[in-house]
Structure 1
Amino acid sequence: MKRLCVVLTVVALVALIVAPVPVSAGLPSVLSTTELVENSYKWDGRTVFFKGEVLQGPMVRNDGTWMNLSNGNNTAMGVFVPKDVAMPVIAHVEDYRTVGDVVLITGVFHRVCVQHQGETDIHALNVTVVTPGSSRENPVRLDRVVWFLVLAGLLGLAMWLYYRKPARRIEH
Structure 2
Amino acid sequence: MVDGMREKNPIKKAILIFLAVLALGSLLFVFLHGIRGFLPAQSLGDNPGYKLPESNAPAGEAVDSVTLVENAAAWNGRTITFTGETIGEFMARGDMAWIHLNDDSFKDGNLEENGGLAGYNSGHAVWIASVDATKISMYGDYTHSGDIVKVTGEFHAACREHGGDMDIHAVSLVVLQPGHAVSHEFAFNKALIALALCIVSGALFAIRRMLARK
Name the TM-score, length of structure 1 as normaliser: 0.71
Identity of aligned residues (%): 30
Query: What one-letter code is carried by the residue in structure 1 that aligns with 2:63?
Result: L
- CA-atom RMSD in angstroms: 2.4
Aligned partners of 1:111 and 1:119 also within 8 Å: yes
Residues 87 and 142 from structure 1, CA distance in 2 versus in 1: closer, same or farther, beyond 3 angstroms?
A: closer
**What is the deviation of 1:159?**
3.6
Query: 5 Å matches for 1:57-96?
Result: 57-72=89-104, 73-82=120-129, 86-87=132-133, 89-96=135-142
Matched, 1:99 2:175: no
Report SS of the residue matched to 2:175: strand
Query: What one-letter code is carried by the residue in structure 2 that aligns with 1:120?
Result: M
Report SS of the residue matched to 1:156: helix
Query: What one-letter code is carried by the residue in structure 2 that aligns with 1:78?
Result: A
Q: Say which of 145, 155, 159 aligns to 2:201.
A: 155
Name the TM-score, length of structure 2 as normaliser: 0.59
**What is the deviation of 1:117?**
2.1
Larger deviation: 73-82 or 41-50? 73-82
Query: What one-letter code is carried by the residue in structure 2 that aligns with 1:45?
Result: G
Q: Deviation per CA, 1:111-149, whole angstroms, max 9, x where unpaired?
A: 111222222100112211111100010132333222221
Q: Deviation per CA, 1:25-80, whole angstroms, max 9, x where unpaired?
A: x9976322221111100100011121111112221222412101111241331101
Q: Say which of 18, 32, 38 aligns to 2:64.
A: 32
Distance across 1 between alignment mates of 2:210 and 2:70 = 55
Structure with more of its chain in helix, by fraction: 2
Residues 167 and 57 from structure 1, CA distance in 2 versus in 1: closer, same or farther, beyond 3 angstroms?
A: closer
Q: How many residues align?
A: 142
Report SS of the residue matched to 1:54: strand
**What is the deviation of 1:96?**
1.0
Which stretches in structure 2 are left out of the alignment for 5+ residues?
A: 1-57, 105-119
Residues 64 and 166 from structure 1, CA distance in 2 versus in 1: closer, same or farther, beyond 3 angstroms?
A: closer
Larger deviation: 62-71 or 103-112? 62-71
Bigger Rg, structure 1 or 2:
1
Distance across 1 between alignment mates of 2:187 and 2:162 = 44
Distance across 2 between alignment mates of 1:38 and 1:80 = 21
Which residue in the other structure is 1:131 paired with? 177
